[in-house]
Copies of this chain bind each other. A is one copy, B any other.
Amino acid sequence: MKLLTRNTDYAVRAICCMASKPEKVFTVAELTNGLKIPRPFLRKILQLLNKEGIVRSTKGLGGGFTLAMKPSRIFLSVLMEAFQGPLKINECIFKKKICPDIGRCPLRRKINMIEDHVVSELRSVTIGSLIKKG
């Protein structure tokens, strides 16, 4: 059961890193040093985060990435959706074949309940909630 894929995980850490100094512009190199993530891969990740508006990029010398939102507004669920697609648990294989009435299929009902719970939990996690140290 994989909940977070690697790029989501990387994204989370990178953002946590950046959240520690909100004003600083981080170059990819700096972030990789701290995090030991393959550099070109992290670049790709940051580029997507930029498109998503979670991070802001500036080009050229002295450029790099900064958070575009407050950590408390960055939801784990949003990161997961960006990197892993919609938060949906897989459909069943035999659509109508087996299940006479998909609306009443007890397996699907159960799966949907699980999904609802998982998703609502994920939606409650923000980067902000992750970095406030204990």
A residues touching B (Cβ–Cβ < 8 Å)? 1-4, 6, 9-10, 12-13, 16, 35-36, 76, 84, 87-90, 92-94, 97-98, 100, 104, 106-107, 110-111, 113-115, 117-118, 121-122, 125, 129-130, 132-134
Contact = CB atoms under 8 A, between A and B. Distances in A.
A88 B106 CA distance: 24
Q: Which 10 A-B pairs have the closest CB atoms?
A: A2-B90, A3-B89, A104-B134, A9-B93, A114-B121, A1-B89, A107-B130, A106-B130, A110-B125, A114-B118
A1 B90 contact: yes
The quantity of this chain's copies bound in the complex is: 2
A130 B99 CA distance: 11
Contact of A3 (B9, B90, B133, B134): B90
A104 B104 CA distance: 41
Contacts of A16: 98
Nearest to A101: B134
